Amino acid sequence: MNVTVLQFPGTNCEYDTQYAFEKLGATVSILWHKETAIPSNTDLVVIPGGFSYGDYLRSGAIARFAPIMESVSKYVAAGGKVLGICNGFQILLEAGLLPGAMKRNDTLHFISKYKNLKVINNKNKFLEELEVNDVVNIPVAHHDGNYYIDEDGLKDLEANNQILLKYCDENGNIESLNGSVAQIAGISNKQNNVFGLMPHPERAMESLLGCDDGVKMLKGFFNK
Amino acid sequence: MKAIVNVALKKGVLDDQGKATHHALDTLGFKEVVSDVRIGKQIIMELNCDTQEAARAQAVKMCEKLLANTVIEDYDIEIIG
């Protein structure tokens, strides 16, 4: 399995992401945003977390026009799998590869802590190692994670099983973290090959460091 | 020629920063005066265009492409000069 991790000025989770996927057995390469081609042997593109372009204008708004993003769009159109984590999710929203937009957290605070997530849908390459209603404990660290989509858009997400994860308590009761519409933490596109989530599974890979629930989340990508 | 672009969340999209600021103004004694607060951003650009119409047309393109996220934001454009 070959994973290509994109790197923009201000990205800061590329090495955690590399560590996570290498731990699971992947060959990982980090690709600078000025490159114009995704390596042809890539099985998964990951847009990692961070603060690309300092979050200037809007989180992800400038990164989406980086040279590499055109080939990401082509890769998606050809059915390739893309995972966006945190700032990566924001970039995918700005690029229109996932529906909706991000607003500032309703608390207006930067939130950095472990948060429980409930699996809403597992019929996809990302979460197929988990069961629906499973609860995983994963770190979140964001200022702009307040997911917004209008009512019609939300109905579409629900009808097409595009809602993957929601914020919840340890017993799986859905609860708000940052004001997101329907407490959404992660979604996919209609074609089920683009995934975005605010929490950081790559930071939950070692029980020694607190939690390894991220392993189950990322392992699905390794299934044939 | 100068273009002044104001970008703010659409009506109907909850503006948490505006709400918090409104609340702060209330507690500072402006409760009777302030009925709504919305927070936006202003982008000021110098444009090399010959006419106001051309400048506006360019600014609209910039807003649609980059300056505003039209999923959640509205924009208005003022051309000076």
The predicted structure's pLDDT at residue A138: 98
Spell out the residues 6+ positions from residue A38 whose beta carbon is closer than 8 angstroms to its own: A4, A31, A45, A68, A71, A72, A75, A80
The pLDDT of residue B81: 87
How many domains, in total, are found in chain B?
1
pLDDT at A60: 96
A164 φ/ψ angles, rounded to the nearest 5 degrees = -95, -40
Pick from B13, B14, B69: CB nearest A94? B69
Catalytic residue list contains A200: yes
A65 close contact with B: CB closer than 8 A = yes
CATH class assigned to A2-222: alpha beta
DSSP per-residue string spanning B37-78: ---EEEEEEE---SSHHHHHHHHHHHIIIII--TTTEEEEEE
**Tens place of pLDDT per residue across chain A (224 aa):** 999 999 999 999 999 999 999 999 999 999 999 999 999 999 999 999 999 999 999 999 999 999 999 999 999 999 999 999 999 999 999 999 999 999 999 999 999 999 999 999 999 999 999 999 999 999 999 999 999 999 999 999 999 999 999 999 999 999 999 999 999 999 999 999 999 999 999 999 999 999 999 999 999 999 87
Q: Name residues 115-144 of chain A within 8 A of B (Cβ).
A: none
Active site residue A202: yes
B72 CB within 8 Å of a chain A CB = yes
Place of tokens 């089920």: A192
B28/chain A closest Cα distance in angstroms = 20
Q: Is A94 on the interface with B (CB under 8 A)?
A: yes
- Quote the tokens at residue A186: 């992660």
CATH code assigned at B63: 3.30.1280.10
For A176-205, give one letter per residue: b (16+ CB within 10 A) or e. ebbbbbebbbbbbbeebbbbbbbbbbbbbb
Is B24 an 8 Å CB contact of chain A?
no
CB–CB of B69 and A104 under 8 A? no
- For B31-81, the pLDDT digits (tens) are 999 999 999 999 999 999 999 999 999 999 999 999 999 999 999 999 998
CA of A175 to nearest chain B CA: how many angstroms apart? 18
Q: What is the pLDDT of residue A142?
A: 97
Query: How confident is the model at residue A26, as a pLDDT?
Result: 98
User: What does the DSSP assignment read for A136-176?
Assistant: EEEEEEESS-EEE--HHHHHHHHHTT-EEEEEE-TT--B--
Write down the pLDDT at residue B74: 97
Nearest residue, CB atoms, B16 vs list A94, A104, A149: A104
Domain spans of chain A, in order of start: 2-222
Catalytic residue among A14, A33, A86, A143: A86
Active site residue A86: yes
Query: Domain span at residue B12?
Result: 2-80
